[in-house]
Structure 1
Amino acid sequence: MLSSINIDYFILLMALLLIIGVLTTKFSTRLGVPALVLFLLVGMTMGSDGLGFIPFNNPYLAQLIGIIALVVILFEGGLQTKWSAVKAVAKPSLSLATIGVLLTTIVVAVAAKFIFGVSWLEGFLFGAIVGSTDAAAIFAVLKGQNIKNNLSATLEAESGTNDPMAVFLTLSFIQLLTISESSYIMLIGSFFWQMGAGLALGYGLGLLASYAINKINLDSSGLYPIFALAFALLTYSLNDLIGASGLLAVYVAALVIGNRDLTYKHSIFRFNEGFAWMMQILMFVILGLLVFPAQLLSFDIIVKGFLLALILIFVARPIAVFLSTPRMGFNTREKIFLSWAGLKGAVPIVLATFPMTMGVENSQLFFNVVFFVVLTSALIQGSTISYFAEKLGLNGPEKVEPPHTLELVSIGKANAEIIEFAVNENMKVTGQALKDLELPNDVLISAVIRNGDLVTPHGETVIKPGDILYILVAKQTIKALKRLMNEKKEEQSL
């Protein structure tokens, strides 16, 4: 049993790690380095082979924390993703998430076979582990960047849906390495089951979660975000229990939940955004603790790992992108950018713990090399994504968050909500005075944010493009209000 001194010491270290992690995100922006790299370095520095503050060598615990963190991160990413954006790029995203991962695995497998002198199955295991684009890295690096919508949506959807392919390939090659009677036909059937059941159950549980959130009447608004997160964990666990893809199901469920009208939607989004950051900090620090710098920075690992990383970045990923996205609406410059933006992050490192926990020979070599490849990818690719987008002329409109702090609320007992509505020039309400709007009786425009300033609305206030309206509305009128406010100018003449 831990003594009170040890418990106090542990709590102090946790507080310091979280503070350092939050401050690290500030420095990462200034240094142009992805935050995940600095989180990993913090873990390596604090670990057994660094300053020794946190002795840690438990791949089972690291794997558990990593999976829970990935569930939270994928759930938050799915909540923030617009279905309209995903629908437009569904075909290339799914192609990259399946065929692209398979092609990357094959190229890396050949390289690993000759660079490290391992068997073909071990080479394919190398390729499977680093084959997927990482959701945690993509969501973190692309957030706030003004990259063309179709490209950012493709990368986000790919990273959210390619984990099942990487997990399937990794576990399949581990099984082939450790169990001599493994059946290839059963493995292929398992893949289709994981994908199909994950999609179906994720969609169904997303609908169930949305219905439950809207129908339940909790005493505290702070319980709604926890209730939503509980459904994310439930979705993963139920799918995992029946052998389906839990990570895919979580992302699909989050897409469904995030694109429906929810009670306390703003609170749910903000809570999960902050919690996802905390889990990301914790996950990368823990994974950094699992690394022994003396082994990682050996001459053999540095030279061979860097060579494998270069092949992955400059050969495997471009081949995967160009061969898996033919005639899908991308020009050569866009495909070059998609090739460069294939970031590696937490998923490959978490997958690299599976050989360690399942008794695969050379498992420590797998982990060290994968960790080095992820660091190289994050440093080279992650820090230059914005630069590449700019040089290739692929920047989209500037993404500016409105500089206001008006909190959205749901008034549960009063059966009313305050909702946010952003106005653009194509909407029928643009250019109209508030007194001329045919709003239902139980609707009140409470505030207008214009160019960062609060405008007190009155009858003569004219709605302008770029305005953000905060509207007090009865819950039963929300759908009718949204139909009215979203009516386009073209529809006026119909």
Structure 2
Amino acid sequence: MAIFLTVAFLELALAGTSSQALWWDVLLGFAMQLGLGALLGMIGGYVIVTVANKVTLEGALYPIAILAAAICLFGFVGMVGGSGFLAVYAAGLVAGNSKMLGQLGLRRFMEGLTWMAQIAMFLTLGLFATPSQFLDVALPAIASAMALIFVCRPLAVWICLLPFGYKRNETAFVSWVGLRGAVSILLGIIPLAGGLPEGNLLFNVAYIVVLTSLLVQGWTIRPMARWLGLIVPKRIGPVERVGLELPGGAGHELIVYRVVKDSPVLRGERLPRWARPSLVVRNGRSMRFQYAGRLQEHDLVYMFVPPSYIHLLDKLFASPAELTQDDADFYGGFSLEPSKTMSALAQAYGLRTIPDDQKDVSIADYMKQKLGGGVEVGDRVGCGGLDLVVREVNQHGSVSEVGLVVDQPDAQAQIPLFLSGKDMWLWARQKISRRSVEAEPDD
């Protein structure tokens, strides 16, 4: 959207006139760009996944072939009048959420390439910059950056997220994480490359805006998330492991764990039957797990497991987490059995806000319904003055451990802005009820 708007307004500025036909061309181009870009991008993503799973290539050529296919998709969609940027983005969404051969290595390659591309974009930004011209536009550019940071982006984010029920602190955090990277740089270069007479001025302004956003927002993301109470404390310590995806779509990965000090397996915790190690390397010598005896610190343990079970093994091979009182307050001081019914919870804590049709539902299913079907560690569900917190999620995506928070933690800051649609509805209903009571005549 940002790229299209920049290019559209650049063409309007270069045209020098503003007629009804010109605006009609812009609207038609908008529909063509987004429509063809999204449609052909999704089709292209499915084609890339299908071909990648059927064609056998050398391991090093596989990521290059996927990248070449994405570039061809970008060029083809642009040639027929669509948005190549949106097409590649849509294809990436489709391919990234599909099963592909060599997905682990491909993901690492693309992550490295992404960082390289962003570094190249920032280097290009520096090459185009003329610091001697910054003083002339410094104050207006910084004022524009402050307006974007504190007014424009928060307002736009609040309006966009209003129908989706986000909490105030969540909306505040999303509004604080502004654009500071390659997209902003690209948008600043487009007018300069398009030959706009004031393109250099716009580029200098964009440069200062990006730099200001990096300094103000980039360095304060973690403190902001902590102040808003949005950081989920880790329940396990660091894990030392390396994964290798097996060829042929076997559905398993070769995982190598290093046994660390004070980990559960070092203290004698038994490994599950589905995760029997195939090999143990100790002091440079390899041996079968049956003959290795009790695992020792610094041992390398090789095992073949499905990817969905890896997070369960992480708990066994992880070092102890450094839990604080704040972490305990976040997850709750009490643990609940997820299979218990909501009626049992209501009876134990005197809850009266649970609907009758949900009293026989398990706590795990109740939380999953309230969270829209997707459950993550740290998610909370309010329940009549109590908070149910997701402590653990099993390999099937269901809640396997629930924490209970009786008293809300005081550390979470409340933002007096960003009311959700539900908050505004409750506020309006209270106002109407209060006015109705005041309007009633006294007996």
For the criterion TM > 0.5, the same-fold answer is yes
- Deviation by residue 1:353-398 (Cα, 9 ceiling, x = unmatched): 2222222221111010011101101111011111100000011354
- Counterpart CA distance in 2 for 1:400 and 1:246 is 43
Q: 1:370 aligns with which of 206, 220, 228?
A: 206
Alignment of 1:186 with 2:32, yes or no, is no
Give, in whole Å, the separation in 2 of the partners of 1:464 and 1:175. 52
1:245-274 CA-to-partner distances (Å, cap 9, x unmatched) read 211211211121122221111111111122
Confirm or deny: 8 A CA contact 2:241 2:255 kept in the other structure.
no
Larger Rg: 2
Q: Determine whether 1:200 maps to 2:39.
A: yes
Write out per-residue CA displacement over residues 91-116 of structure 1, whole angstroms, 9 at most, x where no aligned residue: xxxxxxxxxxxxxxxxxxxxxxxxxx
Count of aligned pairs between the two proteins: 287
Tell me by how many angstroms 1:345 deviates: 2.3
Structure 2 residue matching 1:394: 3-state secondary structure: coil
Amino acid at match of 1:467: L
User: In structure 2, do the counterparts of structure 1 residues 488 and 265 end up closer, same or farther at CA, with 3 Å as the change threshold?
Assistant: closer
Give 1 or 2: higher helix fraction.
1
TM-score (norm: length of structure 1): 0.52
Q: 1:419 is matched with which residue? A: 253
The counterpart of 2:80, out of the listed 242, 249, 257, is 242
Give the CA deviation at 1:419: 2.6
Measure, in 1, the Cα distance between the counterparts of 2:397 and 2:212.
Answer: 48
Distance change >3 Å, CA 172–CA 432, structure 1 → 2: same
Q: What is the 5 A alignment of 1:65-104? A: none
Asked if residue 221 in structure 1 is aligned to residue 55 in structure 2, the reply is: no
1:212 to 48, 51, 55: 51
What residue is the counterpart of 2:124 in the other structure?
286
Partner amino acid for 1:407? L
2:93 corresponds to 1:255: yes
Alignment match, 1:342:
178
Q: Whole-Å Cα distance in 1 between the matches of residues 149 and 65 of structure 2?
A: 40
Is 1:403–1:452's contact at 8 Å kept on the other side of the alignment? Answer: no
Alpha-carbon distance in structure 2 between the residues aligned to 1:287 and 1:392: 33
Q: Distance in 2 between matches of 1:488 and 1:445?
A: 25
Write the distance in 1 (CA, Å) between the matches of 2:277 and 2:51: 28
Question: Counterparts of 1:354 and 1:286 in 2: how far apart (Å)?
Answer: 13
Larger proportion of strand: 2
Structure-2 residue corresponding to 1:441: none
Q: Any stretches of 5+ residues in structure 2 without a counterpart?
A: 257-269, 281-294, 316-393, 401-443
Unaligned runs of 5+ in 1: 1-164, 423-430, 438-443, 470-484
Choose which of 236, 245, 262 in structure 2 pairs with 1:408. Answer: 245
Q: 1:391-402 counterparts in 2 under 5 A?
A: 391-398=227-234, 402=239
Contact 2:188 2:206 in 1 (8 A): yes
Q: How does 1:421-460 map to 2 (within 5 A)?
A: 433-434=272-273, 446=278, 454-455=300-301
Provide the aligned C-alpha RMSD in A: 3.5
2:390 corresponds to which residue?
none
Q: Which runs of 4+ in 1 moved over 3 A?
A: 397-402, 415-418, 444-448, 450-458, 485-491
1:168 aligns to what?
Answer: 4
Q: How far apart in 2 are the matches of 1:447 and 1:240? A: 52
In structure 2, how many angstroms separate the alpha carbons of the residues matched to 1:487 and 1:327?
29
Equivalent residue number for residue 313 of structure 2:
467
1:58 paired residue number: none
- Given that 1:205 and 1:235 are in contact with CA atoms closer than 8 Å, whether structure 2 keeps it comes out as yes
**Paired residues for 1:74-153 under 5 Å:** none
**In structure 2, distance between residues paired with 1:392 and 1:202:** 37
Distance across 2 between alignment mates of 1:366 and 1:464 = 49
Residue 276 of structure 1: which of 79, 104, 114 is its match? 114
